Amino acid sequence: MSATYVGLLRGINVGKAKRVAMADLRAAIESLGYGDVRTVLNSGNAVFTATRPPGRGAAEALQQALLDRTGVSSRFFLRSAAVLEAIVAADPAGRRVTDPSRYFVGFLYEPATAKALTALAARSWAPELMAVGDGVVYLWCPSGLTESPAAEAIGRALGDAVTIRNWSTVQKIGEAVSRGS
């Protein structure tokens, strides 16, 4: 029996740097034996199946497969379908979000790095909202991500150990997971 997983690449197809065709991303994932590989949007989001859970080192193997195929290095963030569904269900902002394109989920490379954000999340970021979840940080930025002091603080604290998706993208990935599960 196979299970569904989500792979998120950090910094892919944002501006002109680190351009990766989604066909190449799918091929890199398939080259490691994963099945039913689908991409969501053009920003490095993939949904795939595995007959056994990706083991320790799977993210690094996926990163290497992408580098070998495209020459582009990008961190892979892996989550099971169940974990993604729990992230969506735990949404701390709820009805406060008026624009899902300005509400974000930061996926942490190592869930333990959430501890690095505890002090930041305890601060007042009004009118923004920052909440730490299980392996993620939720961020409401009514003025946008690039204008966000909270997002800047997260970036300083975590560097490339976080990849951020807006709520609309997270929901589209969730829909792709639901279709594949």
Domains within the chain, CATH numbers bracketed: 3-83 (3.30.70.1280), 90-179 (3.30.70)
Please tell me the total number of residues recorded for the chain in this structure.
181
Tens-place pLDDT, residues 88-136:
999 998 777 889 999 999 999 987 788 889 999 999 999 999 999 989 9
User: Measured between alpha carbons, how far is 61 from 99 in angstroms, rounded to an integer?
Assistant: 36
The model's pLDDT over 23-49, given as tens digits with 9 standing for 90+, comes to 999 999 999 999 999 999 999 999 999
